[in-house]
Structure 1
Amino acid sequence: MELTREDFRNYIKKYCDDEIFYRDLYFQEKNHPETFHEYCLNLDRQFISAHRFFVPELQKEAWYPYMEEKDLFGDLSGNIMFSKHYRYTPIFDHEHEFFEIICVYDGTAHTTIQGMSHELHTGDICIIPPHTMHSIGIFDDSLAFNILVRGSTFQSTFFQSLTADSALAHFFAHVLYRKTEGNYLIFHTFDDIRIRDMLENLYIEYLGHEKYSYTFLNSMLIIFWAMLLRYHENDIESILTRDTGSGSMTEILNYLNRHYQNATLGSTAEHFGYSTSHFSTLIKEGTGQTFLQIIRDIKLNQACRALRETKLSNHAICELVGYESPEHFMRTFKKAYGITPGEYRKKHKI
């Protein structure tokens, strides 16, 4: 089924039957609170059950408080799902073991993540990692949809595009995988037409179900992620970018990725206008690692890349990534990976 952009825009804007049900329910409660309970009691329970509607007034227990991948994806051979967020759906807190990407297509959406409230606007892309309690509410004509991705697929597709920038990869890994209160990432794209077009292309591909659609979706998702980083790397909001003063954690880690060979705690703190002690605390709270651990990880990631992609000797790689001696490099590498650089290179080639 081939869809045009106009077809898609009509689809996303049109109120489906489920949305109409929720809209009627919302305004009934808002305009006639005194008779709302009686109104709910007179609803067709079989109809509600068949459509899997959420009516809090009739619900005795939490509604889908936790969703496993099998509950949503079932026997689906693909790893990516798209779903329009039904306007006027009653707010309910929930979490799941897959990634959810909330895309605000037009208007405003309100979300709460681990008790922290956020107002999302047109062009905002909010990434919520697994096992994170959250909710979303839209109670007007605003439009949003969700991209749901299996956990393993998220790592293999999204993080594949970050291998060349280990500092930024480290930043995302902390936000998305550490058990920190309020995990989330928001890209503020400000209705960037390039991002909007790509989102439309992704959703159209999903709705079309054409041949090799899942392969297309995986590849397009990688490109979409790269576009977000290319055009909006400095428009990221997360728990790590709220209190970092003159430099966001993204900027700090990008700086370290460029200067890891000779950056020191003191020189980096001075560059961003912090005292050494305060900067050390800031790094630890923002990433969960010390300054030296971050530098070590960047150096090792660059060394692994050189071992995979070049024929440079261990001595040359040692100099390239900034280790003082080949012996120090060998000891650090084996302690981190359990194998020598030579064994790593051989294993990769196999």
Structure 2
Amino acid sequence: MKLTKDEFRSYLHHYDEDEIFYKNMYFEEKDHPATFHDYCLGLDRDLISDHHLFVPELRTEAWYPYMEEKDLFGNLTGNIMFAKHYRYTPLFVHEHEFFEILCIYDGTAQTTIQGISHTLHTGDICIIPPHTKHSVGVFDDSIAVNILIRGTTFQSTFFQALTADNALAQFFAHVLYRKTEGNYLIFHTGNDVRICDMLETMYIEYLAHEKYSYTFLNSILILFWAMLLRYHENDIESILTKDTSGNSMTEILNYLNHHYQTATLSDTAAHFGYSTSHFSTLIKEGTGQTFLQIIRNIKLNQACRALRESSLSNNAICKLVGYDSPEHFMRTFKKTYGMTPGEYRKKYHEQES
């Protein structure tokens, strides 16, 4: 179905049959706890089965479902799915093989990630990677939208919007792929109408199922990700961004990307109000790399860019990216890439021609 923006907003706020079922059950338990079990015994079992509804009171054992990609996507051509989170659905902890992007369209939602509770507000975009135990609860008229993405598609679409040599991309990869517990990233976008409009556009495109819809969705998703980074890269919360000084790892990495030519560990630590030893540990835990590795990678990536896009000499590039010694620059470059800067430039231009 093809919806206008106004029709789409009405669609989101409308209570369908399943939401009404959950809402009635929620208030029955809240207002009449003594008779709630009998109420559940009288529910339509065929409706529950046909609609795959979750009624904890009728289950005889705890339920911790795990969903594989094939269970959700089946034989679908596309790799991206959109769904409104049913309001008043009973809380249940679950995990899955795919990525989930939980978008708070309006109001608030309660979520737990690896047992840690979070309250999400309008404009919050929460990225939950595979194999992460979590739950989501919406118990009022708030609207939460789920974007579900195959793991391989997430990597090829989202991270396509970032160059692999970007320190921020390395931070994301570390949080989303290397940590084993408590993984998440939250963009706090607030009332940014640009982000909200893009979310609406994606969901409307998904519902329309028009020709080349999945190609459109992949492209819009890349743009959505790029917008989050352009406008809110300093509004990110994760398991690694919070500390007592209030600084975030994204702020630190952005600072290093701008001051890599001259930044030292001690000066950067002082700039953010840390002792050198604590800052060194913070960097390692937050990115999986040491301070010197991050600076080296930024310098070399900038050198590669200069080799590709300019005719500057090796000595000029050496000075441009902050190396004091041309010999040190040449030695580090060859050790990292297996070729000299001149060989790198020649190879790149041969591939382009």
Verify same fold: TM over 0.5.
Answer: yes
Partners of 1:338 and 1:43 lie apart in 2 by 68
Verify the 8 A CA contact 2:308 2:348 in the aligned structure 1: no
Partners of 2:175 and 2:245 lie apart in 1 by 18
Partners of 1:277 and 1:152 lie apart in 2 by 37
Letter in 1 for 2:66: Y
Partners of 1:335 and 1:39 lie apart in 2 by 71
Give matches, 1:235-246, under 5 Å: 235-243=235-243, 245=245
Letter in 2 for 1:346: K
Shift of 1:338: 5.9
Alignment correspondent of 1:346: 347
**3-state SS of paired residue (2:39):** helix
Alignment correspondent of 2:256: 256
Verify the 8 A CA contact 1:165 1:257 in the aligned structure 2: no
Letter in 2 for 1:226: A
Alignment correspondent of 1:118: 118
**3-state SS of paired residue (2:293):** helix
Q: Deviations over 1:82-109 (max 9, x none)?
A: 0110001111111112111111111110
Partners of 2:238 and 2:64 lie apart in 1 by 26
User: Structure 1 residues 340 and 17 mapped into 2: Cα distance closer, same or farther (>3 Å)?
Assistant: farther
Structure 1: gaps (5+ residues): none
Shift of 1:319: 4.3
Q: Deviations over 1:137-165 (max 9, x none)?
A: 01111111101111122122212222287
Give matches, 1:106-145, under 5 Å: 106-145=106-145
**3-state SS of paired residue (2:191):** coil
Q: Deviations over 1:42-75 (max 9, x none)?
A: 3233321211111111223454621111111111
Letter in 1 for 2:79: N
Alignment correspondent of 1:194: 194
Shift of 1:186: 1.2
Q: Which moved more, 1:276-285 or 1:1-10?
A: 276-285
User: Structure 1 residues 67 and 335 mapped into 2: Cα distance closer, same or farther (>3 Å)?
Assistant: farther
Alignment correspondent of 2:69: 69
Partners of 1:183 and 1:314 lie apart in 2 by 42
Letter in 1 for 2:321: V
Shift of 1:312: 5.6
Count of residue correspondences: 350
Alignment correspondent of 2:279: 279
Letter in 2 for 1:56: P
Q: Which moved more, 1:285-294 or 1:323-332?
A: 323-332
Matched, 1:298 2:298: yes
**3-state SS of paired residue (2:127):** strand
Alignment correspondent of 1:23: 23
Alignment correspondent of 1:41: 41
Letter in 1 for 2:298: I
Alignment correspondent of 2:99: 99
* RMSD over equivalenced CA pairs, Å: 2.5
Verify the 8 A CA contact 1:308 1:345 in the aligned structure 2: no
Q: Deviations over 1:2-44 (max 9, x none)?
A: 3101110111000111111111221221122222222222323
Structure 2: gaps (5+ residues): none
Partners of 1:155 and 1:307 lie apart in 2 by 27
Letter in 2 for 1:196: C
Letter in 2 for 1:30: K
**3-state SS of paired residue (1:100):** strand
Give matches, 1:312-323, under 5 Å: 317-323=317-323
Shift of 1:202: 0.9
User: Structure 1 residues 70 and 266 mapped into 2: Cα distance closer, same or farther (>3 Å)?
Assistant: same
Letter in 1 for 2:242: R
Verify the 8 A CA contact 2:165 2:297 in the aligned structure 1: no
Partners of 2:164 and 2:313 lie apart in 1 by 20
Letter in 1 for 2:243: D
Partners of 1:146 and 1:107 lie apart in 2 by 15
**3-state SS of paired residue (2:147):** strand
**3-state SS of paired residue (2:75):** coil
Q: Which moved more, 1:56-65 or 1:307-316?
A: 307-316
User: Structure 1 residues 340 and 45 mapped into 2: Cα distance closer, same or farther (>3 Å)?
Assistant: farther
Shift of 1:339: 6.4
Q: Percent identity?
A: 78
Shift of 1:255: 0.8
User: Structure 1 residues 57 and 334 mapped into 2: Cα distance closer, same or farther (>3 Å)?
Assistant: farther
Partners of 1:237 and 1:154 lie apart in 2 by 19
Q: Deviations over 1:208-244 (max 9, x none)?
A: 1111111111111111112112222222222222105
TM-score (norm 2): 0.90
Partners of 2:67 and 2:312 lie apart in 1 by 48
Partners of 1:35 and 1:153 lie apart in 2 by 47
